[in-house]
Chains A and B, each alone.
Chain A
Amino acid sequence: MGMPSSRISCSGSLRPPSSAGGRHPFSPKSPYLAASSALLDESLLRKLEVLSLATRRPAYGQLRGMHRSRRTGSGLVFTDFRPYSAGDDIRRIDWSIYLRLDRLVLKLFEEEADVPIYLFLDASLSMDFGTPTKLDYARRAAAALAYVALLNHDRISLVAFADGIVQALPTRRGKNQAPQAFRFLENIRASGQTSLHATLREFFSTPRTRGIAIVISDFLDPDGIEPAFAVLRRFRHEVAAVHVVAKEERDPPLPEEVVLIDAEDGSANELEVTPSLLEAYRETFARHVRDIEAYCRKYGWGYVQAATEVPIESLMLRVLREQGLLR
C-alpha cells in the first residue's frame, strides 16, 4: 500500500530524535526515510521505536542483543560468582572479595543476546484479495515487525511463501538493514497456492537457531495448519500467528446466484446464496478462525487476528501489544 510521498518527505521539519535511549536512527538526512516510504510512513516509524518483540523464553542468539539469555558474560544483570581460572578476563575479578578473603573470584553477569526472528509472509494468490488486499496489509505488518526487530538488534529472516519459498531475504541484523528489508517486502507479488507445511519444511531443512517464527497469513491452506505448525513445534520455536482477515471474507457481499472462483486453484462452485447459507458461512469462517487461535493457545503461542480494515498503526501499537507479541 503506497503512502503519499508528501507525508514521508524528509524535509527539515522533522523533530529531533526521541529521547528513548537516543536510538532514533533517522536524522533529517536519514537514508532510511525514503526506503520506508512505500510501506510505512514516518510517524508510524517514530511510534515503532519504543517497541520491541517480547519473548517468553531466554534467547539463544550468539550475538549481543537486548534479550535475556542463559549465557553469562558482560551484561549488566549480576547472576553469580565463580573462582578465577587462568585466562579469565581479569576485569571481572571482584577486588573487594579478594581484599576481604584473599581469593580471586570472578563476578558473573547475565549476557543479553539477540533473537533470530523468522518472518514468514504468505504471498499466495488468496492474499491478493480484499480492499486493501490482504497481501498489502500483511507486508506492511511484516515491515513494521521487521523494523521493530532490527531496531532491537535482532536477526531477522524474511520469507515470502506460497506453495513453497517464493523469495527469502537472508538474515539481516541492525537498523541499517531496514531499507533492504522494506524493498524486499515491496517486491513481493502474489502467486501460487498456499502450502505452509511445504514452506516450513523447506526452510527448516537447514539448521536454524531456535527463535521466534512469525507467520503472517490468511491460513487458507487446503492441508490445514496442523502439519505446518508441527514442524515449528518439533524445532521448539516460539511461534506467533498473525491471521490476516479481509472484511469481504468475514461477510461476503454476494448476489443470489453466483459462481465462486477460487483464486488459487481456479475451481468453481455454483451457489444460490440465501441468508441461511450466508449465516452458515459466517459460522464456518468464525469456527476456522477459532480453531487456529485455539491451536496456538494450546501450545502457548501468540495469535493475532489482523483485520484489514484496522489501521496498521492500531495493529502495531494496540493489538499486538495487547496480545503480548510486542512490548
Chain B
Amino acid sequence: MRFAALSTGSAVLLLAAVVGAVVLLYLLKPSPRRITVSSTLIWRRVLRSRRRAPDRLRWWMSLLLATLVALCVALALTRPRMGSSSTALHGLVLVLDNSITLSARTSDGRTRWDHAVERARGLIRTGPASARYLIADTQRQIGSPHFEEADAALATLERLRVTAGGEPVFPQVVPPGDPDLRAVLISDGVARLEVPGGVESLPVFQVADNAGITAFDVRALPADSTHQQAYVEVLNASPAPRAMEVSVTGAGHPPLTRVLQLAAGASARELFDVSTFDAGPLRAAVSMAGDALSADDVAFSFARGHHMRRVILVTSGNPTLERSLRLLPRVQLTVIAPGRYTDRGGVDVWVFDRYAPPQPPAAPALAFRPSRVDWLPAARGDTGETSVSAWVRGHPLTEGLSLQDVIVSNALVARDVNRFEVICADAQRRPLILASLHGPRRVDATFALDDSNLPQQAGFPVLLSNALEWLAGESRSVQARVGLIEVPVPAAKVLDLQGHAVPTRPLPGATLIEAWEPGFLTATAIDRRVRVAVSVLDPAATNINASRFADTPAAPTFVSEPRWRVEVWAALLLAAALLLVLEWWTFNRRLTV
C-alpha cells in the first residue's frame, strides 16, 4: 500500500497516533455514577433474565469499533493506493497509438481511442504498488516522456488526444535489456510502427465501415484558365461494397452531388466543374451510412473564381516576359509601347520593362530595371556581374521559390530604399529586387530580364505569379493536411470559418497552426492574408481496416474497467460510516458500552 498524501512513515505515525488517541479516550472515559438503592434484589433478577455479554468483552468490542472507525478516517486522509506487494516490476512503459485511425468508432459507439485509454488506465490501476509509469504516444504529443507515479500517469493519460497528420512513430522510450520493465503498445495496428522486440501489444482493433476523401484539389484547365475543375478521390475502406454520396459545395452555386457504388477497397476519382463557383472555400464531403471515421469525410480547397486579372505590359519588346505573363492563369494581358503609356483605370497590374512613367501609376506596378523616376528608389551606377546570395523567405513574392542560381550580368545600384523591403540582394547586400512596404504596392527589379538568367529559371513563372497575386491583393491559399501547419505569415491571427480562433505558435517569419481537424482557416497579419484549406487526404488514415491485428468481432470483448470505480479513500470513508452505524446500533442495543 502506498499513501498519496503522506510518506509511509508519516502515515504509520498518524495511524499509531489515532489508535493511541482512541484508546486513551476510552481509558479516560468517566466512570458511571454510583447510586445507592434500597436493594439490588430486583435488579439482580432482571439482569439474570437478560443475556448480557461480559462488561469487559463489551468494552473491548466498543473500543475495537471506535478504533476501526478512526483508522478508516485516518487512512482515508492519507489517500492510500492499493496494489500488489510485488516488487519484481519497477516500471511500466505504456505507448499509446494516437494516430487518426484510433478515432474510428467501434460497434459499441465508442472510439478505438476510448478503449485504448481504458486499457491503459486498467493497467495503471491494477499495477504493482511500487511501479512507476511512463506514458508515451506515437504522435509525439508528449515531448519528453518520463517515469512518474500512478496518479501523475493517469493525469498524463487524460491529456492525450488523437492527433491527425504527421507520421506516427514508436517513441524511443524502451531501454533494452531491463528485466524489471514492461513495455506495452496499445494500438489498432493500422499505423506502420517499428515496434522494438519485447514490447507487448494490446490491440483495440475492430473492423468498421469507412469511406473517405483521399484527394481534393481545384485547378484551372490548361487550355482555358477561366475554367476550374475540382478533383475528388474517394476510397471505400469498408470490408464490403457500399453506396455513398459525394458532394462539392461552395459559394455562389448549388452543391454538386454524385452517388457512387464502390467495391470494398476501391476508389473513385471524380471531376466537378466548379467554374461557376465564386472565389472562396470549397468543401468536398462523402457520406455513407455507418461510417466509422468522420475526420476523412470532408476536405477543403479554395476556388479562384472566374475573375480575370487585367495586366498591361509596357515594353519596347520582350517576348519572353510577354509569353510568361500570357501563360499565367486568369491573366488578360495587353502589351503597349512606352510611348503609348497613359495612366488609366481598369488596370489591375502594370508591368514596366526598362521603363517607368514619371508619375506613379494608380495601380500596382512591377518594374524591371525601370528608368530613373522619383517614385522608385534612386539608382546610381551599375553593379556589374553579380548573383543573388540572399532572399527573404517569408514574403509572398518568394513563396515556393528559390532564387539560389539567379545570376545578373548588370543591375542598378539602388539607393534610398527606406520605403521598400529588400526581397533579394547580392553578396555585397546590393538590392536586386525590392517590394514596397507602405502605400501602393510596387515591385522593383533593379535588373533587366535580358541581363539575368532569371527567365531561364524554373521559378520564374512562380515569381511572376506571386508578384501578380501580391500586387493584385489576392489572398494566397494553402492546402495542408491536418496537424501542425506552418504558414509564411509572421504573428498571424488564425480564424476558422465560424470565426473561432485556432491555436497557433509563433515561428521566425512564420506561424505554426495547430489544426487537428479538417477546416478552412484564414491566417491574417498586418498586410497579408493566407487561406489554409485543412484536410486529412490520407489514404492510410482512411484505410482504417488495414490492421496487423485480427478483427475483434464485438467491442464488449475488450477488457474494460468498470464504468465507475471507487477510490480506496472513498471506500474507507464509506466503511467508517458503516462502522459508525454499526457502533450506534450496538450501543443502542447495549451490545457495546
Contact = CB atoms under 8 A, between A and B. Distances in A.
B34 interface: yes
A220 interface: yes
Contact of A129 (B31, B38, B45, B588): B38
Nearest to A127: B38
Contact of B38 (A246, A277, A284): A246
Given A270-B32, A277-B46, A284-B46, A262 B590 contact: no
A284 B40 contact: no
Nearest to B40: A262
A280 B48 CA distance: 11
B36 interface: yes
A129 B37 contact: yes
Given A222-B41, A260-B40, A285-B42, A280 B49 contact: yes
B55 interface: yes
Interface in A250-285: 252, 254-255, 257-264, 267-272, 274, 277, 280-281, 284-285
Interface string A206-235: 000000000000101010000000000000
A281 B49 CA distance: 10
B593 interface: yes
A269 B47 contact: yes
B35 A258 contact: yes
A152 interface: no
Interface residues of B, number: 23
A130 interface: yes
Residues of A contacting B: mostly: mixed
B38 A260 contact: no
Contact of B34 (A129, A134, A261): A261
A145 B31 CA distance: 46
A10 B54 CA distance: 62
A314 B34 CA distance: 35
Contacts of B35: 254-255, 258-261
B36 A263 contact: yes
A218 B33 CA distance: 25
Interface in B562-593: 588, 590, 593
Interface string B37-75: 111111111110110000100000000000000000000
Contacts of B39: 126, 194, 218, 220, 262-264
Contact of A270 (B41, B50, B55): B55
A274 B50 CA distance: 12
A249 interface: yes
A281 B33 contact: no
Given A274-B590, A280-B46, A280-B49, A263 B41 contact: no
Contacts of A258: 32-35
Nearest to B44: A269
Contacts of B45: 284, 288
Given A130-B38, A269-B44, 10 more contacts: A126-B39, A129-B38, A218-B38, A220-B38, A255-B33, A255-B35, A260-B36, A264-B38, A281-B42, A285-B42
26 contacts: A126-B39, A128-B38, A129-B37, A218-B39, A220-B39, A246-B38, A252-B37, A254-B35, A257-B33, A260-B36, A261-B34, A261-B37, A262-B36, A262-B40, A264-B38, A269-B43, A269-B44, A270-B55, A271-B43, A271-B47, A272-B593, A274-B588, A280-B46, A280-B49, A284-B45, A284-B49
